[in-house]
Amino acid sequence: MVNETIVSTIVVGVDGSDDSRRAVQWAGRLAGVVGARVIAVHAVGLLEHEPGDPGAEHLRPALEQWTEALEALPDDRVERRLVAGDPAGAVAETVAATAADLLVVGTRGAGAHGAVGLGSTSLRLAEHCACPLVVVPALSGQ
């Protein structure tokens, strides 16, 4: 019997919301147990672009902060990406480009309303994702 890990690459969507932070924590814990690498992706929207910064590197400090739960993993197993585009498209593109084994997202993103159960990005990814998807639930009472 060959000892193969079912999950070697995890992509996690990140937007700074409490739900995405919980998704990062969950992905980081799973990666620690199974020895997977984690690719954290933030979709850079039109309003986040700044002149003279085509790679949106001005957002790197925020991305580092949003993904600080991944610091428990070895550096060679963590990657943080800023990808231009809408959230579902940027995350799906990263899943495809990296042949990810698992996608992890929060229930709702930064722009969601409290009364909404599943956010539009999570829903779109659930409908079209090319790999298994874990939607980390919001804390009770939120």
- Over residues 54-77, the pLDDT tens digits come to 889 999 999 999 999 999 999 999
Listed as ranges, residues in the chain with pLDDT below 50 are: 1-2, 142
pLDDT for position 116: 54
User: How would DSSP label each residue in 44-92?
Assistant: E-GGG-BTTBTT-GGGHHHHHHHTGGGGGS-GGGEEEEEEES-HHHHHH
pLDDT for position 1: 46
Q: For residue 105, give the nearest of 127, 134, 62 by alpha carbon.
A: 134
pTM: 0.88
Give the CATH H-level superfamily of domain 9-136.
HUPs (3.40.50.620)
pLDDT for position 140: 57
Domain boundary assignment for the chain: 9-136
CA-CA-CA-CA torsion sign (82, 88, 76, 73): positive
pLDDT for position 97: 96
